[in-house]
Amino acid sequence: MDHLNQLFIDAGTLMFAGMVFVFAFLGLLIVFINTVLVSLAKKYPDVVTQPSKAKVITSHNAQADSISPNIIAAISSAVNSYRQQNKISK
């Protein structure tokens, strides 16, 4: 029984050492990546663009951009033709 307890203690110690090693490695990796990113950000800064002014839509432009009645009639005719060919009812 004493031998089994010693095996569990050794396994726990090995697991703890492995977890500490992984934690330390990941912590150092995070520190390294952040320092590299800071130096690269200083060397190659992002380009700052100024936002363009939004176009103001007036009621005149809205009427000019509306769909003409001829196009609506053509679309309606095409939908009706499709429904008749495929026998789809309303």
pLDDT at 57: 55
Distance CA 29, CA 79 (A): 61
pLDDT tens by residue, 3-18 = 999 999 999 999 999 9
Angle at 13 between CA 8 and CA 16, to 5 degrees: 125
Listing DSSP states for 38-65 in one string gives HHHHHHSPPPP-PPPPPPPPPHHHHHHT
In single-letter form, the type of residue at position 2 comes to D
Return per-residue pLDDT of the chain as tens, 90 residues. Answer: 889 999 999 999 999 999 999 999 999 999 999 999 999 999 988 888 877 776 655 555 555 568 889 999 999 999 999 989 987 655
